[in-house]
Amino acid sequence: MQYRLTEDQQVFRQQVRRLADEKIAPRSVERDEKGEFPWDVIEEFRKNGIFSVFFPAAYGGLEADLLTCSLVVEEVARASATCAVILCGHNVGSLPIRKTGTEEQKNMYLHKLARGEYLINVGITESGAGSDVASMRTTAIRDGDKYVINGVKRFISMANVVDVLTVFAKTDPKGGMRGISAFMVEKGTRGFLVEKLEKKMGMHALPTCEVVFDDCRVNAENLIGKEGEGFLTAMLSFNHTRVLIAALGVGLAQGSLDYAVDYAQQRVQFGQPIASFQGIQFMLADMATGVEAARQLTYSAATVGEMEETNSARFASMAKYFSTDVAMKVTTDSVQILGGYGYMKDYPLELKMREAKALQILEGTNQIQRVIVAKSLLKS
């Protein structure tokens, strides 16, 4: 079923699906086992203009709407959630520049980012400031024509491979959320140190890092927007990218469901395919219903987010937590349908199950998404 998709969106979706099936899916398990960053996929994204969907036409982008961006992420995630997370990071890292950056900043970075010549992500999480962003302790103190950044960021995806990191730090240490500002910090800047690579349950091909800023000096021109506007910029960025994480959950769940359906029709027990047993049929029906419900909610959230309605944050959070919970449920049930084979690394479903768990945590845990939805309802 299509949800208000134009002919161009449908054609583009099929193009991305072919790319994902042919170039991404075949090595997804191998990349995870080796912990190998998918540079081959990055090159395919560059050649096929995938990065450009997030950027304005004036800077070499396709200027795609949020629904089209969601379709791209969904189709990539069918093949590899890890590779889809890279696109989401590219989006959220560049959003502050796109939304509040100066014309000089946009001209300096957006062309390169749209081509995929530069990679970008965001540095906001700290050990004591996850859901509670206002509690961050990283500081950026003005010193003449420079800002001096000090602090430690945790769980920063791709910090060791990106060319630019959008870093959030307090320019007013006592200002709470109103003291947070955003900065562009380029790879190789003195005092920008990747100290540790985390050992994760899944997404082994996606490096997750601890980043230390030790008297890291950046030009005052690297400030994105104005001092004290960083928290609002971050929240607006998350509203956008949470829709993409929801789409990622839909794609991951759909890929798992597709595999389980195919397996159930081929696996024979008691003289017949296990798909003929009502217990398996009920599982598949519930999985398919969950995926479709998540898809429709995600597309609705993308439509609302594009219009920037006042309740876009609510829809983004609803879609994020519902879709990623569905992804966890569907991948778990897919493993169950494969039985012992589902638990083996020779089959892709245990990988998808481990990837799904991460989606319930990143870009704001699903518990904090429920808080956002409830507060929005009570406020209205």
Residues acting as catalytic residues: 363
Q: Residue 138 in contact with residue 172, Cβ under 8 Å?
A: no
Amino acid at 143: D
Buried b (16+ CB within 10 A) or exposed e, 27-43: bbbebbeeeebbeebbe
Residue 77's Cβ-count burial label (10 Å; 0-12, 13-18, 19+) is buried
- The encoded tokens of residue 301 equal 């959230």
Cα-based angle 43, 350, 269 (whole degrees, multiple of 5) = 125
- Phi, psi for 33 (deg, rounded to 5): -65, -35
3-state SS class at 344: coil
Q: Which residue from 165, 167, 168, 169 is spatially nearest to 186, judged by alpha carbons?
A: 165
Q: Residue 178 in contact with residue 231, Cβ under 8 Å?
A: yes
